[in-house]
Structure 1
Amino acid sequence: MKKLIYTVLFTISSFLLIGCGIYGFTGGDVGNAKTIQVDFFPNQAQLIEPTLSQQFTNELQDLFTRQTNLTLTPNNGDLHFSGEITSYRIAPMSATSAQTSAQNRLTITVNVRYINNTDEKKDFEKSFSFYSDYPATSQLTGSVQEAAFEEIIDRITQDIFNASVGKW
């Protein structure tokens, strides 16, 4: 019986906290913002992967629409993200006894400009970077490339979310 009472009290208090706007379980503090604009992030790195720009832009848009109640708009968003992919680099990371590479690292860097039209103190321009290691015996194509892109893009978009509206 006690367990039932605690469950009911927890449920009611959770709805009250969320309904009153005190706390949201997504961790995103969007303030008074209602819309978000995410511009296309062109790849301006020396080495260009054709699908990376579109994939990154879509993932950033998806993250914000999933984790906040913001509406995606093509222009005049309350929160506005723009920028470019500035680096796409593959480098050997560890060597074998035969002095060949045992592991390679793909590193992607994205420069982001964030404008909060409801609170200008939160604006920033910042670079975000992450990497993924893969065996040197593999080519960066197919499933190896997909796994690397997924890991890197997930981390960078989450870092952008945390820097802009996450209060962690």
Structure 2
Amino acid sequence: MDFKAYGLRLVACSLLISFLSACGVYSFTGTNIDPSVKTISILTFANNANNGPSFLAQRFTEDFKDYFQRNTTLRQAPRDGDLQFEGQIIAYDFAPAAIQQTGGQDQAGVNRLTIQVRVKFTNTKDSKQDFEQTFQSTRDFPATRDIASINNDPVALREVFRNIITDAFNKSVANW
């Protein structure tokens, strides 16, 4: 056994561990959460979109909570968490995105669902990280799909939600 090579490896590993711990909290999910932050509260997002389905606020809020539960070790609190989220769904629009002519008539070639959510984030441990921002996501659907079929398709809505939630996650705890 080469003790000199073993010693160099041991020193290199020690330096790497020291460097990572000196840089703050690192997580393989990409979060950068201060160790003093232990809880998160996510209030129900209000549905202020004129044409959004009635279940939209509840489903979005549950998906938001689930995402943070899966990707952080923070304990969820009903209110007054170290990190706090609240907001409202401000737009839910379903409209033609590509018009094509068929038999001399204009028809939608693709329909686009657009959802906008206003998110207010408060970090009680570091107010410099607080923000209020609107996040938006869109998804195109074949013209043969109407809004009722999309509202009854949880996978379609969750994809749009996931994009918004990921953006809010990255801005709040991943510091991107």
Question: In structure 2, what is the equivalent of residue 93 of structure 1?
Answer: 97
What's the TM-score once normalised by structure 2's chain length? 0.81
Q: Deviations over 1:83-124 (max 9, x none)?
A: 000000011011222211111000000001100000000000
Does residue 82 of the first structure (1) align with residue 86 of the second (2)? Answer: yes
Question: In structure 2, what is the equivalent of residue 156 of structure 1?
Answer: 164
Q: Deviations over 1:24-62 (max 9, x none)?
A: 101111212100000000100111211211111011111
2:63 to 47, 56, 59: 59
SS in 2 for 1:75: coil
The separation in 1 between residues aligned to 2:131 and 2:72, in whole angstroms, is 20
Q: Deviations over 1:127-160 (max 9, x none)?
A: 0000111011112315874232111001000000
Does residue 40 of the first structure (1) align with residue 48 of the second (2)? Answer: no
Distance 1:22 1:108, change over 3 A: closer
1:129 to 109, 112, 136: 136
Question: In structure 2, what is the equivalent of residue 70 of structure 1?
Answer: 74
What fraction of aligned residue pairs are identical, expressed as a percent?
38
Structure 1, unmatched stretches of 5+, are none
Q: Show the 5 A alignment for 1:142-153.
A: 145-153=153-161
Does residue 26 of the first structure (1) align with residue 62 of the second (2)? Answer: no
Question: In structure 2, what is the equivalent of residue 139 of structure 1?
Answer: 146
- Cα drift, residue 167 of structure 1: 3.0
Structure 2, unmatched stretches of 5+, are 1-5
Are the equivalent residues in 2 in contact too, given 1:138–1:144 (CA < 8 A)? Answer: no
Does residue 103 of the first structure (1) align with residue 107 of the second (2)? Answer: no
The separation in 2 between residues aligned to 1:55 and 1:143, in whole angstroms, is 11
Q: State the structure with more CA Rg.
A: 2
SS in 1 for 2:73: coil
What's the TM-score once normalised by structure 1's chain length? 0.85
Distance 1:53 1:124, change over 3 A: same
Letter in 1 for 2:169: F
Are the equivalent residues in 2 in contact too, given 1:79–1:117 (CA < 8 A)? Answer: yes
Letter in 2 for 1:150: R
SS in 1 for 2:101: coil
Letter in 2 for 1:53: A
Size of the alignment, in residue pairs?
A: 159
